[in-house]
A and B are shown apart, each in its own frame.
Chain A
Amino acid sequence: MAKMVRILVAKPGLDGHDRGAKYIARALKDAGYEVIYTGIRQTPESIVVTAIQEDVDFVGLSLLSGAHNELFPKVVELLREKDASDIIVFGGGVIPTEDIPFLKEKGIEAVFTHGTPIKEITDFIEKRLEKQ
């Protein structure tokens, strides 16, 4: 059997709105990926442990509360600390355009804001896999 791509969809922080995360999870499932969903209100620490235990290739972070500049880079940083920087992090949610360059600089490889067609996300995943 060919290697299956595994993706963790995680919701860091305190906002309880997970429709976006669930939508992405469902769409990625339909695109043929194995999607692990954490549920809401996760700490960066729990997300990183989960990503490692589940041996995922990607972590997709969804956040609507405005704490992305704090929490997204923290996930990347902890992955590095745990010797798991090969796990690719992307994010989405309510993210102001002006914050995106900062997040990319911090190692979040792609940021998808609301209204992004799913194809853009799956294209990113496939392209990124080719690179490996």
Chain B
Amino acid sequence: MDLVDKVQSGSIRGIARTISLIENNSPQKEDIIDELYPHTGNAMVWGITGPPGAGKSTLVDCLIKRERKQGRRVAVIAIDPSSPYSGGAILGDRTRMQKHSTDEGVYIRSMASRGHLGGVSVATGDAVKILDVAGYDTIIIETIGVGQTEVEIIELCDIVLLVLVPGMGDEIQAMKAGVMEIGDIFVINKKDCDGADRLKTEVEYVLGIKNALTGEEPNPVLLASSKLDEGIDELVEAIHDYLKKAQTTGRFEEKRRDRLEKEVYKIFSSKVHELLNIHLDIENNLGEWISSILNGETAPYKLINSKLNRFVKENRII
């Protein structure tokens, strides 16, 4: 049985192996993804993001429990950073979810970011497809702990939960562009800690300004404690409400189409990049180019444009 069949039949080893092949950028990757692609689109994909230590993994643990109670099969992809020095990583998110490890309806996979900076890893999107085809109903992506700019999660999921905790600044922080804009639902975790109610008010205030400008319905802001397992039922209800509403308004399909567009564009860019790399032999020529810039013979844009123009002419592209 080949890997694609194994994934379709839900074989855990098959799924795990296939994810590794994709992560390692194996030559089989493109064929596998293309073969799986027509069977994707059934799972709901939830993204969980927020700063380090906000309680994301513990929250995922609570969400798994609720989804399992409803009889849905759940897969989790939990991403942690790779070391910029050794390339190694400590993947510790699943520590908080280990009680589900022997539940056959739950698959948990830890992934290292492997140098990618958007809060997820390059292979995350394809791993979602594999788990989707393998028959998981709910796929939860937990990003690495984010700061202000890691927003790539919005390109991978149907709903984003932004997990915040008190003590990280005032409403000016909440007003800023970037991560603070991407939550479909805001979760104020550690609600038993000082400042949680205040943070909720601040986030609602900032969202109120946004909603007054756009006329959209306000995003839910919910207090929760993943550690004490409180406020989770309300959160899960809000998630399902959001998804249902998005499906009736057409927003859901629209988002998925946008995502595919971005994905195809990304593949295209990286292919063009790869192609030019080969044709211009950038790796071998770069040293010489840099020297000519340092010698004052040319300047960066001038050099690149002349190389590209020559390439285009030689190959009669224009």
CB within 8 Å of B: which residues of A? 1-4, 6, 25-26, 28-39, 42-43, 45-46, 49-50, 52-55, 82-84
Contact = CB atoms under 8 A, between A and B. Distances in A.
A42 B95 CA distance: 10
A1 B116 CA distance: 13
B190 interface: no
A36 B57 CA distance: 14
A36 B110 contact: yes
The CB with the most chain B CB atoms within 10 A, among A43, A45, A46, is that of A46
B94 interface: yes
Interface in B67-82: 82
How many residues of B sit at the interface, in one of the four size bands? 20 to 34
11 contacts: A1-B24, A4-B114, A29-B83, A29-B88, A32-B83, A35-B89, A42-B101, A45-B102, A49-B101, A53-B108, A83-B13
Contacts of B19: 55
The 10 lowest CB-CB distance pairs between A and B, nearest first, are A39-B95, A55-B16, A29-B88, A46-B101, A32-B86, A36-B91, A55-B20, A32-B88, A1-B25, A3-B24
A112 B189 CA distance: 41
A35 B91 contact: yes
Given A1-B24, A38-B98, A54 B109 contact: yes
Nearest to B82: A34
A3 B26 CA distance: 9
A37 B91 contact: yes
Contacts of B114: 1, 4
A30 B23 contact: no
Interface in B83-105: 83, 85-92, 94-96, 98, 101-102
A53 B109 contact: yes
Contacts of A36: 91-92, 94, 110
Interface string B148-166: 0000000000000000000
Contacts of B83: 29-30, 32
B13 A84 contact: yes
B5 to A, nearest CB: 16
A49 B102 contact: yes
Contacts of B24: 1-4
A39 B91 contact: no
A116 B13 CA distance: 33
B196 interface: no
Given A34-B112, A83-B13, 18 more contacts: A1-B24, A1-B25, A2-B24, A3-B24, A4-B23, A4-B112, A6-B20, A28-B88, A30-B83, A31-B86, A31-B88, A33-B88, A42-B101, A46-B102, A52-B12, A53-B16, A53-B101, A55-B19
Interface string B6-25: 00000011001101100111
B186 interface: no
Contacts of B13: 52, 55, 82-84
Given A52-B12, A54-B16, A29 B86 contact: yes
Nearest to B83: A29
B116 to A, nearest CB: 11
A30 B96 CA distance: 23
Given A30-B83, A50-B101, A38 B91 contact: no
